[in-house]
Structures are given as structure tokens and as C-alpha cells.
Amino acid sequence: MSASLDEDSYARAALTYLAEPGDTKLGALVRACGAATTLAAIKAGTLPEMSLSGAARAAGVRAMERWQVRLGEVPPADEVAGFYRAGIRLACPGDPEWPGQLADLGDAAPYALWLRGSADLRFSCLRSVAIVGSRAATAYGSYVASEFASSLAARGWAVISGGAYGVDAAAHRGALGADGVTVAVLACGVNVPYPVGHQNLLDAVAAQGVVVSEWPPGRNATRLRFLVRNRVIAALAPGTLVVEAGQRSGALNSARHARDLSRRLMAVPGPITSDLSAGCHHIIREWQGTLVTSAADVIECLSPVTAAPGQTPAAVLPRDELDPDTAAVLDALPSRGGMGTAQIGHRAGLEPATVMRCLGALAAGGFAERCAGGWRLRRT
């Protein structure tokens, strides 16, 4: 096992190859037995010893057969660790960068997340808004999504969306234009440009934020995967804003997940003659979504469940509880300017993979932040 990839992490990485995300049977098995035991059981073709009724055990056996079909696709541990050298990292439950709110998905929670980018996922999502809408957005929808995202990003809010054409793209570009953090949650591998026309956009998101996927590197998108992906967008953010959506739009699927997860749900009104605003009006009328017409409205709606506007979350770990490696990285950080990971590693006497892990913990804990020159101590 690689020094940067422990047994549980490798097992979770392998599970992303074996099962589609949101498989509640696999989620329940991992919760009950752990990822490593579950992977070993799939390889052996035998369900772990656990109390299951006859029907549940039969369903488990059928699921086991389904997962075993993909065993040949699982790469060895050193190949998985090699993704780190390509700028792709794995986040697992319990890791400093793991967003704990994903637990609200229950047995449908991700087994692990593949990440590409500069931002810390957990810290970014603490004060964030998911902005979603139609791929075939009107000029009005694209303008509104971009303006909302830009204004929110300028006020220190991260913008989460799906990287698609239309509203998603406008939201990402609005946040990037304001030098803010944006998170793109994909329905394919983080190294797969989908849509193809968004290669440059996704690279820009990775440079200033983070690209996220439940699917392993190289996996292509399918229609069903977009719907499965939407639950993660809704779960990551304290609130979801729908800018434009038809009555059968995938954005309504995201909104439904947000509603079911008890997240704040907001919608932008539009012309009553526009089919692309019908879904927004439905959210406001039938799902008690909050009608918003500005970024200020969004912040007012979300402020009770996040830090106050203009404030950053305080450190969530006492400094004296940091492990030795993380404490060494913290001591190596500059208070002004910025420092690259290689130089931080040289100062701290640690390898790059360890430095990245520690920086993620420090960012999530409120000790460190990214800047134009790399990393520095978080300004209070």
C-alpha cells in the first residue's frame, strides 16, 4: 500500500470502480462492515457475516454479482496513488477535506470523492450556494446566474454547480470573474472534459476552486449519472438556488434533493410566458421555496445556517491537537505573501503528498488559506 494511500482509502477508491454512486446496498454494507472488509467480500464473492433476512440476503447476493463484474476494472494501489502525481486526489469520510454534511444522504452517500483543483472542498462548502438551472438557458437566465454568482463570490461565498452548459456555466464563470471559489460536481471522471466545449472552463475551475466526482478518473458521463450526481450538489451546499428550470428540468431534480435534505431552497422568478421559468414558479408556489431577486436575498436566506456575511469560520481544531506533521506545515507557512507546496515541504521536511494532506486539514480547520502565491496563514 502506498504511503499516501491507506487500506481504507484504497478500498473506497476501488468501490468507486465497482458500483455506481448512490447504491444503497453497497452503502449499507460499507457502513456495517467497513470499506476494506466489503472489498474483500466482493473479491471473495461471499457476503460478510451479518444478520440479514432471507430476502435481504438474496438481494445482497444479486448485488454482489453485479459488483464482481467490474473487478477487472479496479487498478492496483500504486496506480491509484499515481493519480496524486497527476493532480487528482481522493477524499474519504473522516479525511480533513471530507464534507461531513454528505452523511445526510444516508446509505446513498458517496463512498469517496475524486478531486482535482486547488481549493479545499470541506472549507469551501461551509459558506456556499448551489446555483443550478437549465442547460438551454435564455439570455436572462445566463445573466442572472452570472450576476448572482459574481456578487456572492465577491462576498466570500463559494458557488457550487454542475459544469454543464447554460446556467451552470454562467454561475461558474461569474464566480471565477470575481476571483471567488467555485466547485464543479461532475457526472464523469474529473479528468474527462464533459461537455467537451468546457475543457478550458473546467481547467479554470480547478485552478481557482475544485472539480469533484464520485466516478473514478476516465469514467464517461451518461444521462442517468447526471440525475445521481444532483443529490451531491444539493447535499454539499447549505442552500440551492434555481435560476431557470422547465417543468421537466434536471434542475428540479436538484431542487427536490435540496428540499428532501432540508436545505434552503430558493428560486428566481421569471416571465409567466417563459417555459423555462415554470419550474421556478412551481418551486415557489408548491415547495415553499424562497423567492429571491438579488445576491443579498440569497445571503439573507442562508445567513441563519452559516457564518455571518463577511466573516470566515473560526478554527475548528485547537492548535495543540494537530498531529506533528500538520503542526510542522503550519509552522512553515508565511503570514504574508504566499508559498508553494514544494517550498513548504522543504521547510517542514515532509514529502509533497503529506504536505497536501496537512494543508487540507489546516484549511478545513481555519488555520490556512490559498492565495495568489500558494498558501499562507489565514488572516483573522
Q: What is the CATH number of the domain that holds 356?
A: 1.10.10.10
Helix (H, G, I), strand (E, B) or coil at 176: helix
pLDDT at 320 (0 to 100): 75
Q: What is the distance between the alpha carbons of residues 165 and 80, in angstroms, rounded to a whole number? A: 30
Mean pLDDT (whole number) for 216-230: 96
Instruction: Give the number of domains in the chain.
Output: 3
b vs e for 133-158, b when ≥16 Cβ sit within 10 Å of the residue's Cβ?
bbbebbebbbebbbbbbbbbbebebb
Residue 368 — pLDDT band, cuts 50, 70, 90? Answer: confident
pLDDT digits (tens, 9 = 90+) for 109-128: 999 999 999 899 998 998 89
Q: What is the distance between the alpha carbons of residues 233 and 105, in angstroms, rounded to a whole number? A: 11
- Are 140 and 283 a contacting pair, CB within 8 Å? no
Same domain, residue pair 104 and 168: no
pLDDT at 202 (0 to 100): 97
- Are 264 and 240 a contacting pair, CB within 8 Å? yes
pLDDT at 9 (0 to 100): 94
Is residue 251 scored above 50 in pLDDT? yes
Residue 317 — pLDDT band, cuts 50, 70, 90? Answer: low
C-alpha dist (Å) from residue 143 to 90, 192, 276: 34, 27, 14
Helix (H, G, I), strand (E, B) or coil at 302: helix
- Are 281 and 289 a contacting pair, CB within 8 Å? no
Same domain, residue pair 168 and 210: yes
Domain boundary among 108, 143, 176: 108
The residue whose grid cell reads 491507506 is 6
Mean pLDDT (whole number) for 187-191: 97
Give pTM, 2 decimals. Answer: 0.81
> Which of 110, 136, 98, 87 shows the shortest CA–CA distance to 249?
136
| pLDDT: which is higher, 85 or 89 | 89
**C-alpha R_g of the chain:** 21
Mean pLDDT (whole number) for 52-78: 85
Helices and strands of the chain, counted as H and E runs: 16, 11
- Are 49 and 37 a contacting pair, CB within 8 Å? no
> Domain containing 127: what range?
118-305
Mean pLDDT (whole number) for 214-237: 96
Question: What phi, psi does 65 have (nearest 5°)?
Answer: -65, -35
Mean per-residue pLDDT over the chain, rounded: 89
Q: What is the distance between the alpha carbons of residues 211 and 189, in angstroms, rounded to a whole number? A: 9
Same domain, residue pair 150 and 61: no
Mean pLDDT (whole number) for 289-314: 74
Same domain, residue pair 372 and 298: no
Is residue 311 scored above 50 in pLDDT? no
Q: What is the distance between the alpha carbons of residues 19 and 25, in angstroms, rounded to a whole number? A: 10
Q: Dihedral angle at the C-alpha atoms of 194, 112, 128, 180, nearest 10 degrees?
A: -60
Q: What is the distance between the alpha carbons of residues 102 and 130, in angstroms, rounded to a whole number? A: 14
pLDDT digits (tens, 9 = 90+) for 13-59: 999 999 999 999 999 999 988 999 999 999 998 887 665 666 767 77
Same domain, residue pair 263 and 129: yes
Domain boundary among 59, 76, 108: 108
